[in-house]
Structure 1
Amino acid sequence: MGVTLRLAHLSDIHFGGENKAAVAAAGEILRGGGFNLIVVTGDLTQFAEAPELEAAAHWLATLPEPRLVTPGNHDAPYMNWLERIFRPFARYERLIGPARIQQHLSPGLAVFGVNTARGAQPRLNWSKGQISRGQVEEAAAWLQTTDGDAVRILACHHPLTEMIGGPMTARVWGGDKAAEAFTEAKVDLVLSGHIHAPFAWPYAFGDKKTYAVGAGTLSVRERGVPPGFNVIEIEEQTIRVIAQGWTGSHFEPQRTWSLDRRG
């Protein structure tokens, strides 16, 4: 693959608590073009209230296609317990799009999105993630059927393994086994959010060429890192992850990771 693929990876916009200036500036960059795909890995809203979801849907509609959007734990209703338990992503699906899985396939690129968020689960902190064996098998099977030269990407909200030194945890049930399975399936990147801080590193399995990549937030809920998003540049031998940080007036590169691709 001689031509560079460029992806924009955003997460945790939290409409209802968004950084309005940063969101507007990010939109201008995305509308400027040059991206093969825009990926948003969940937490579009603060409480999944209808006005927040409507604002998120309106903003997404201003962005160029193609787009792939996964839900996060904040995209299940926070105030309505019954809806959160029995129909956690009904509002999201009505206004944003499919919650269970999302797929994108284009020359040189295959992306599969899964929902690691739950409206309710048998532990007190419902915001933490889960990924089932069925979800892993479905995603891995689909990605493995794609062109062997394509970049294979899994998108979800919660990091499957913990960010080293991160400002918070994801504690994904099934996450370590999922990370190992995706490495065996030769997935190149696993994109996530939730932590509100950018990161990139290899999973400690197999050939160590499957990389966890996290995007920051575009909300006012900063955790020691300015609002931001990732630009991902994919070449034949290298993947570059460029974390864009908000200065208060514009975005500029904050940190860059260079990741070796599989031979």
Structure 2
Amino acid sequence: MHGKSASMHSGPLRLFHLSDIHFGLEDTRAIAWAKECIEREKPHAVAITGDLTMRARHPEFRAACEWITALDVPVTVEVGNHDIPYFNLYERFFAPYKRFKAIERMVESRLDLPNLAIVPLRTTTRAQWQRFPWSNGWVTQEALAQTLAAIDELPKGTRILIACHHPLTERRERDGKLLTINGTRTMETLASRGVMGVLSGHIHDPFDLTKATPAGPLRMIGAGTLSMRIRSTPPSFNEIVIDGDEIRVTARNLEQVATRDMQIDEVPENALPPRTPQEPVSPVGAVPPVDPPVH
């Protein structure tokens, strides 16, 4: 669970939060820009919250692993629903993370930084008896227990961020549709542990929301995509600055769109472009005229 630590540092910490790169359908201009930013600016760590690939094919994983291993900063990687084999059912059920081998030390790895830990939470499952398809999230009892055990190992007073793929919103507000199974209980449990925020992806639009729980508020921070499969915002990643107990989030993008114009105010069902008036859309409204290709 333990990732390599950054050097001791007494000032604010800066993280880059990337998600949904989708090698196989990556935006080559966007990933080149993101890599250049990492190389030039040297953030204290990079958190990648899943969906490295489009269809979990071997060439996609090779490209993703080569790209990630070239980053000369501490990295933690979460597993997204697109990263579990679609077509090889044996691997999906019995060796779902086999294709991560080149970066296995980074996968679901806790990063220990000066007075800050990024702790993984698995939200992706091989199958879900409650529904099909299995693209949305599920926090199993085992996954939550592993995360809580990692939190409890930390020295008292350590600031904590959780990294997962799916937003923890359990029900869609307007119609109660199930999104992440066991998300409500998980948010309350994390809030009770004093977690500063939860980093996630999956939606392809960035967001920065605070959810009320019986144990107190919990910050929910979502990164956009670096793929051609956009929803309503151009490709982006989050720059996150932790200064004491304050978190500042900037949705950085090549189009120079302001952060607030990039962020949506509600978690949608999936990453597909909004096609009905009820679907949340970012203020910039960069909705593609047709659904992006899925090969």
TM-score of the superposed pair, with normalisation by structure 1: 0.87
Report SS of the residue matched to 2:203. coil
Residue 99 (structure 1) shift: 8.5
Secondary structure, counterpart of 1:193 in structure 2: strand
Match of 2:110 in 1: 103
The answer on whether the counterparts of 1:68 and 1:103 sit within 8 Å (CA) in structure 2 is yes
5 Å matches for 1:231-246? 231-246=239-254
1:51 is aligned to 2:59:
yes
Give RMSD over aligned pairs. Answer: 2.5
Corresponding residue of 1:10: 18
Q: Could you tell me how far 1:98 is from its partner in structure 2?
A: 5.4
- Gap regions ≥5 residues in structure 1: 258-263
Quick one: structure 1 residues 62 and 252, their matched pair in 2 at CA, closer, same or farther if it must change by over 3 Å? Answer: farther
> How many Å apart are 1:174 and its aligned residue?
1.0
Deviation per CA, 1:194-247: give whole Å up to 9, x if none. 000111112211464421110000000000111100000111242101111232
SS in structure 1 opposite 2:128?
coil
Deviates most, 237-246 or 78-87: 78-87
Among 59, 62, 65, which residue is 2:70 paired with? 62
1:37 and 2:37 aligned: no
Pair 1:226-2:234 in alignment: yes
Q: Report the AA paired with residue 7 of structure 1.
A: L
Hey, what does 2:211 align to over in structure 1?
203
CA displacement at 1:170 relative to structure 2? 7.8
Task: Give 1:70's aligned amino acid.
Answer: E
Alignment of 1:113 with 2:120, yes or no, is yes
Closer/same/farther in 2, CA of residues 2 and 99 from structure 1, 3 Å limit: closer
Give the conservation status (yes or no) of the 8 Å contact 1:33–1:64: no
Distance 1:150 1:207 in 2: 19
Residue 254 of structure 1 corresponds to which residue in structure 2?
259
Give how far 1:164 is off. Answer: 7.4
Correspondence for 1:178 among 164, 172, 186: 186
Q: Separation in 2 of the partners of 1:163 and 1:32?
A: 40
1:52 deviates by 0.4
Pair 1:24–1:253, CA change in 2 (3 A): farther
Shift of 1:121: 2.1
Percent of pairs with identical residues: 37
> What is the alpha-carbon distance in structure 2 between the residues aligned to residue 237 and residue 86 of structure 1?
41
For normalisation by structure 2, the TM-score amounts to: 0.78
Cα distance, 1:103 vs structure 2: 1.0
- Unpaired segments of 5 or more residues in structure 2? 1-8, 264-295
Among 99, 102, 105, the residue aligned to 1:91 = 99
Counterpart CA distance in 1 for 2:96 and 2:24 is 18
1:108 Cα deviation (Å)? 1.4
Identify which range, 170-179 or 40-49, moves more after superposition. 170-179
Number of residue equivalences: 251
Distance 2:70 2:178 in 1: 31
- Aligned: 1:26 with 2:5: no
Q: 1:98 to 1:4 in 2, by over 3 A?
A: same
Quick check: 143-152 or 131-140, which moved more?
A: 143-152
Is 1:74 paired with 2:82? yes
Supply the distance in 2 between the matched residues of 1:163 and 1:59 (Cα, whole angstroms). 35
